[in-house]
Amino acid sequence: MLRWLAKLWKLGAQDTEPALRRRIMLVNQLGLFGAVTTVPYQLFYGLTSLSYYAPVFASNLAIMAGYLWTLWANYRRRHDSARNFIVVVVMAQLAMVTWYIGRDLGVHLFYFTLISILPLLFERARARALALLAGSNALLFWICDQNFGHATPPLAVPEVILTLVFGFSTVAAVALITAFMVLFRQQIDAVEESLTDSNLELAQLSATDVLTQLPNRRAVEAFLARWSEKPDTLVGVVLCDIDYFKLYNDHYGHLRGDETLYAIGAALRDSTRSDFDLVARYGGEEFIILLPQANHGYIKEAVERLRAAVEALAIEHRYRPDALEVVTMSIGYSQFESRGKRRAPSTREPIDAADKALYRAKNLGRNRAESGFRGAND
């Protein structure tokens, strides 16, 4: 039933921008609820004294047709007409019903809830226009309430039935306003959820390298910042640079170069602890691997595993000047010591140390790893 209703109030809302979609749905909801909730009153008028209530019964039929017309108008993409029309319909129904039957049945309470919703149909209206609409609704309600309150007393109906109808009107008014609030809440939740999702997606995109799909430099900074706040832990910092990559690009082409970068990134990622370490693209043909909670022994072992993994890919590179005919990389490594929040350690220092060690590895013949641990100079 609810799914069926939801389908109805989405009439004409497909492929529209979010603000307009919300408004269309609200107009449809008002149209549906307005039409459906008039039915019990019509039954009451018809079953008690149709001749006495004939004017209000007939007017209500016209009003119900008006409510349903707004759904049709939205379906035909005449959204502004639908919105303007429903404002008139709701206000007319309030005036008309109170005029005919006064306050005794509590029907005015019910339409009061409907007119309170009307300002929400003008999503871009200025505060002054909204205040004017809300003010004129309140004035209309007050005029109806004051002037027509005792106009036409219900006829030939036992007091208990009148009390029941008044009770029904009160419950229906509260139920109606609750239903609208719940629907708003659901919309807000849905919007919030989709915003959170797209923020997450954006954050992920802005921290991901497009070519290798590895985290980028921004992610490295964030990772180090996170670890620098943990007390007393060692993070291995490993800088890798592909050997003779310019020659590779020159001879095999930039596209093959891109593929090689991707393959190397994947190999590095497969050689590390997936739930713990960070493998990132640090620059052009440079990668950085961060190994948290690793001691010297583990870092050295991991570095050798990384170097060997790339060599084992056996990507042909016949144009390098040395005897090796495959793509290799040189590595410089060091460590980052976190000391908790007491003193934020510099993240630059260990990266510089690894960079210097990498430079040494290049000078010492490439396809090798050099340590930048404090005190190490070999």
Ligand X SMILES: Nc1nc2c(ncn2[C@@H]2O[C@H](COP(=O)(O)OP(=O)(O)OP(=O)(O)O)[C@@H](O)[C@H]2O)c(=O)[nH]1
The neighbour count for residue 102, using CB atoms within 10 Å, is 20
How far lies 59's CA from each of 108, 168, 234, in Å? Answer: 15, 21, 80
Q: Which of 285, 286, 304, 370 is catalytic?
A: 285
Q: Give the whole-angstrom CA distance, residue 338 versus residue 233.
A: 5
Per the CB < 8 A criterion, the answer to whether 327 and 242 are in contact is yes
CB of 260 to ligand X, least distance (A): 7
**Cβ-closest position to ligand X:** 257
Query: Which CB, 246 or 305, lies closer to ligand X?
Result: 246
Non-local (6+) Cβ contacts of 311 within 8 A are: 326, 328, 367
The answer to whether 159 is a known catalytic residue is no
DSSP 8-state assignment for residue 235:
E
For 197, the token pair is 């999702």
Query: Which CB, 83 or 320, lies closer to ligand X?
Result: 320
CB of 218 to ligand X, least distance (A): 17
Query: Which CB, 10 or 217, lies closer to ligand X?
Result: 217
CB of 362 to ligand X, least distance (A): 5
Per the CB < 8 A criterion, the answer to whether 95 and 136 are in contact is no
H-state helical runs in 76-158: 79-101, 107-117, 127-147
Non-local (6+) Cβ contacts of 208 within 8 A are: 214, 215, 216, 219
- The amino acid sitting at 288 is I
Residues that bind ligand X in the complex, under the rule CB under 6 A: 211, 241-247, 249, 254, 257-258, 261, 284-285, 362, 366
Non-local (6+) Cβ contacts of 172 within 8 A are: 37, 40, 110
CB of 303 to ligand X, least distance (A): 17
Q: Give the whole-angstrom CA distance, residue 369 versus residue 184.
A: 61
Query: Which CB, 104 or 285, lies closer to ligand X?
Result: 285
CB of 286 to ligand X, least distance (A): 9
Query: Which CB, 185 or 254, lies closer to ligand X?
Result: 254
Q: What are phi and psi of 288, to 5 degrees?
A: -130, 140
Q: Give the whole-angstrom CA distance, residue 19 versus residue 140.
A: 28
Query: Which CB, 193 or 325, lies closer to ligand X?
Result: 325
CB of 315 to ligand X, least distance (A): 13
Q: Which residues are catalytic?
A: 285
